[in-house]
Amino acid sequence: MSIKDRMSGNEAVAYAIKQIDPDVMPAFPITPSTEIPQLVSNYIANGQMNTEFIPVESEHSSMSATIGAEAAGARSLTATSSCGLALMWEELLVAASNRMPCVLALVNRTLSGPININCDHSDSMGARDTGWIQIYAENNQEAYDNMLQAFPIAEDEHVHLPVMICQDGFITSHAVQNIILNEDKDVCEFVGEYNPGEFLLNKGNPVAFGPYALSCYSMEAKKAQEKAMEDSKAVIAKVAKDYRERFGRGFTFFEEYRTSDADHIMIIMGSAAGTAKQAVDDLRNQGKKVGVLKLRVFRPFPGQEIANVLQNCKSVAIMDRTESYNGHGGPLSSEVRAALFESKTYPEVVCYTYGLAGRDFTVEDVYEIFEELENVSSNNNISIIQHRYINLRTKEDR
């Protein structure tokens, strides 16, 4: 039976953590994720959780403690944002390479500098190649649902990789929305008990984690890690299907919004997908054949699946909420274009950078982007720059 409530994204994730009731949660506060460990510690103090909460001196320490607890056989997670994730960088790689199925609740916030506390995806996109599975939410409901699916994915015997659950700072983390919660007993049944096969405190079966590996072993370890990431696709799909059948919500790798007959499609991640969907509805009412592909899973990257959706459209807008400093778009742009090339699918592509450090992204912006796509695909305006910023201020605006 479902429960109707109103919660911020941080409250929703903290409530999911309460229902999961992990063994250990080390954490250090940083805006805008601070509420998550704060709320969890309140649940623990009120006797609603059995989790061991560990206040640490830094984000590096919080991830180190999470890895240590996981290696000892405890189901473990932490939370952070922005520079906190950057301080964890070394440990992110350690968690993934040691195949620790821990979870990180990431509230996306721009990385310095200049110093800014608002949303973009520079933190998680910077960590895209650390070996973590990455799942993104459009709204508070998805942040809650994604968190409940994280451990069943991470702990699967074919995966054993850490999972990063991402939501947009302030836009969802602090905004209150209607939400449907699951019953505690149903969550317990879905998530299940953690029964690690190998762990440090398993008496009589000594193991080592994080050993020094010579050149004759390291490359094979990386290949095994890469294979686990590819294998996680099937597990993510199965967990999403099981969750949808039990609770009636959710998507697998992405949500297709009015894409089946669309000539022009926008690919986007996170909260801005809602803005894009509204614009699509408006333009559909005007007879425009447009759609949105909202990406949920960035790692493992569902390249072939995306190419299959785009194979019959005329043009594509790829929306990056971060910068790669390569002159032709951000990480999402690079990945999608590579997938299209490999699948020999060649719609017209325009890459956009938007929303950096919280810059507004509006329905009107989406109207303009789709108009540009129409011009590109019909060759009415072939001079459009193939990579540009949305709402970039000019000298005249300053």
Mean pLDDT computed over 30-36: 98
Mean pLDDT computed over 35-48: 98
pLDDT in tens, 112-137: 989 999 999 999 999 999 999 999 99
- As a three-state string, the secondary structure of the chain is CCEEEEEEHHHHHHHHHHHHCCCEEEECCCCCCCHHHHHHHHHHHCCCCCCEEEECCCHHHHHHHHHHHHHCCCCEEEEECHHHHHHCHHHHHHHHHCCCCCEEEEEECCCCCCCCCCCCCHHHHHCCCCCCEEEECCCHHHHHHHHHHHHHHHCCCCCCCCEEEEEECCCCCCCEEEEEECCHHHHHHHHCCCCCCCCCCCCCCCCCCCCCCCHHHHHHHHHHHHHHHHHHHHHHHHHHHHHHHHHCCCCCCEEEECCCCCCEEEEEECCHHHHHHHHHHHHHHCCCCEEEEEECEEECCCHHHHHHHHCCCCEEEEEECCCCCCCCCCHHHHHHHHHHHHCCCCCEEEEEECCHHHCCCCHHHHHHHHHHHHHHHCCCCCCCCCEEECCCCCHHHC
pLDDT in tens, 184-210: 999 999 999 999 989 999 888 988 888
pLDDT in tens, 50-100: 999 999 999 999 999 999 999 999 999 999 999 999 999 999 999 999 999
Mean pLDDT in the chain?
96
Mean pLDDT computed over 269-291: 98
- Residue 18 has a pLDDT of 98
Mean pLDDT computed over 374-386: 73
pLDDT in tens, 133-158: 999 999 999 999 999 999 999 999 99
Whether the pLDDT of residue 379 is over 80: the answer is: no
- Residue 174 has a pLDDT of 98
- Residue 307 has a pLDDT of 98
Q: How confident is the model at residue 7 (pLDDT cuts 50, 70, 90)?
A: very high
- Residue 382 has a pLDDT of 54
Whether the pLDDT of residue 325 is over 90: the answer is: yes
- Residue 31 has a pLDDT of 98
- Residue 210 has a pLDDT of 85
- Residue 386 has a pLDDT of 83
- What residues pair up with 26 in beta bridges, in sequence order? 54
The CATH number of 3-247 is 3.40.50.970
Among the four given CATH numbers 3.40.50.920, 3.90.1150.10, 3.40.50.970, 3.40.47.10, the one describing domain 254-397 = 3.40.50.920
- Residue 398 has a pLDDT of 57
Of the candidate ranges 284-293, 306-315, 362-371, 384-393, the one whose mean pLDDT is the lowest: 384-393
Mean pLDDT computed over 18-29: 98
For a pLDDT cut of 90, what percent of the chain falls above it? 91
pLDDT in tens, 223-258: 999 999 999 999 999 999 999 999 999 999 999 999
The CATH 3.40.50.920 domain(s) of the chain lie at 254-397
Whether the pLDDT of residue 380 is over 80: the answer is: no
The CATH 3.40.50.970 domain(s) of the chain lie at 3-247
